[in-house]
């Protein structure tokens, strides 16, 4: 049994490595003067990249940065509004709870009355046995 598990694990190891690797065709680099423009083909985001000490360092383009910060501001305002709305919402009063319970009790009594009527009709008029 151990051999089967080990064999299966070793045979599936390359598939796990392939799943962990990022898609090589996701990004496209184009040289533009002394820097590169990197296009993310999945999201459409563009970054400006420069070669610094043998490493490619990328940063967002100015218009994307502004859109990114606008979205962050919008989401921050939304979170603040939701937090304030949640803080203002109070628990229902005892009178409101009692009213809700009485409505549910009336509904359940009415429903149980209907069930009893159906049972009485069924007992009074049984279906004929066909077997």
pLDDT in tens, 4-32: 444 545 455 555 544 445 567 888 888 88
Tell me how far apart the terminal alpha carbons of the chain are, to the nearest angstrom. Answer: 53
pLDDT at residue 20, as a whole number: 47
Residue ranges covered by each domain of the chain: 26-87
Q: What is the dihedral of CA 58, 62, 68, 72, to 10 degrees?
A: 110
pLDDT at residue 83, as a whole number: 86
Q: Whole-prediction pTM value?
A: 0.34
Pairing of strands 27-32, 46-52: unpaired
pLDDT at residue 97, as a whole number: 95
* Cα–Cα distance, 98 to 84 (Å, whole number): 28
Which residues does the chain have with pLDDT short of 50? 4-6, 8, 10, 17-20
For residue 86, give the DSSP letter: H
pLDDT at residue 114, as a whole number: 95
């Amino acid at each position: 049994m151990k051999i089967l598990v080990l064999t299966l694990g070793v045979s599936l190891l390359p598939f796990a490595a392939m799943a962990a690797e990022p898609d090589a065709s996701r990004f496209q680099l184009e040289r533009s003067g002394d820097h590169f423009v990197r296009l993310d083909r999945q999201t459409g985001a563009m970054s400006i990249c420069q070669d610094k000490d043998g490493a490619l360092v990328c940063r967002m383009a100015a218009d994307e940065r502004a859109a990114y910060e606008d979205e962050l501001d919008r989401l921050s305002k939304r979170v603040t509004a939701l937090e304030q709305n949640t803080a203002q919402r109070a628990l229902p009063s005892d009178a409101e709870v009692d009213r809700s319970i009485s409505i549910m009790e009336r509904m359940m009594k009415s429903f149980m009355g209907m069930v009893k009527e159906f049972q009485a009709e069924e007992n009074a008029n049984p279906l004929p046995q066909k077997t």
